[in-house]
Chain A
Amino acid sequence: MSNPQLIMYDEEFKQINVVLEKLLREANAKVIFLVDKNGQLITGCGETERFDTTSLASLTAGNIAATGGLAKLIGEKEFSILFHEGEKDNLHISIVAGRVILVVLFDTRSSLGLVRLRVKKASEELTSIFTKLLEKSEEKEKSGDSEFPFAEITDDDIDNLFS
């Protein structure tokens, strides 16, 4: 498969959140999200409760997928940075480690230059965390130590979801 399943563990989840919190402060941003390329929200920090984070994640991934399609049409691998300018709020969207999307929402208290600069630094840190994360889940899979929560799942469990 093109993209192996993304599995997040406590340790890396905490490390990622530390990087995002730092980026939030240093870039003077309002909200930061990290989204899987498939449209699933990984984590966020800042004023997240003000936004419909699930929709935001899905549309961001759709946006990246669509611009990625455009890139291929003109012979580019991908457009790794997207910037959307609004009247008050702006979105800076970038691809990290080839598979996750970093979304930074900021207003006039910050600037595109500052955000770009800080995102670049944070991306390097996130890339190393995600590289480790992928290695870790591969290792666990190989050793059969996946402690998968659904191993004992039954028909009834699923029926209950729809009751």
Chain B
Amino acid sequence: MSFINYASREINCKIVYYGPGLCGKTTNLQYVYQKTAADAKGKMISLATETERTLFFDFLPLALGEIRGFKTRFHLYTVPGQVFYDASRKLILKGVDGVVFVADSQEERMDANIESVENLRINLIEQGYDLDKIPYVVQYNKRDLPNVVSVDELRRELNPTGVPEFEACATTGEGVFETLKAIAKLILFDLKKGK
């Protein structure tokens, strides 16, 4: 859950990037990191294996500016996508304010996408959240590759409830900030609504 500090006039929110292994969660964060002004970002932390697969999480703090006199910070996390890291994924969802599901658009990863969305739903329930109620957006990544599934089909399988969705190519940055902005917006409006 977000942390509101009236004493230092700050609001901190936690965004988690979820998705199957190698779908581009870390790449999303790396692009955000590269394109953010030095004074607006902290150090990016990646707890990864020697082969650069995420082992526990990536973490990127962003301090984008003030809203109504409150410093607004977003803490971006990724989960390890590989199936056997499920115990770690659950831990990272603790206290989440909003989720970005990064789907791999390639045909051969469709089953992995579906499995990962299901896994997200189950793991959220364990933490006391309902995927249909929390701020949630979907990103169809790797649109630049030749063997991609159509957006219609991705939508049918992965986004039946019609949450905001974005086509992206995280390596070039296309759609990355659009996704982040959408989830930030949902979270802040959710905070407003909750009060």
A162 touches B4 (CB 8 A): no
Q: A69 to B92, alpha carbons, bound, how many Å?
A: 11
Interface residues of A in 14-65 (CB under 8 A from B): 14, 36-40, 42-43, 52, 54-55, 58-59, 62, 65
Interface contact tally, CB-CB below 8 A: 138
A40→B12 CA distance, assembly (Å): 7
Counting CB contacts under 8 A, is A160 at the interface? yes
A50 CB to nearest B CB, Å: 14
Q: A38 contacts B64, CB within 8 Å?
A: no
Asked whether B156 is an interface residue with its Cβ less than 8 Å from the other chain, the reply is no
Which chain B positions have C-beta within 8 A of A68?
91
Count A interface residues, CB 8 Å. Answer: 43
* Residues of the A chain whose Cβ atoms lie less than 8 Å from the Cβ of B4: 5-8, 149
Contact A9 B68 (CB under 8 A): no
CB distance from B55 to the nearest CB of A (A): 11
In the assembled complex, A10 has its CB within 8 A of some CB on chain B: yes
CA distance A55 to B58 in the complex (A): 11
Q: How far is the CB of A136 from chain B (nearest CB, A)?
A: 11
CB–CB B68/A66 < 8 A: no
New A-B pairs, 9, CB < 8 Å, besides A40-B12, A66-B91? A3-B1, A5-B3, A6-B1, A7-B5, A8-B6, A36-B3, A150-B192, A158-B185, A159-B181
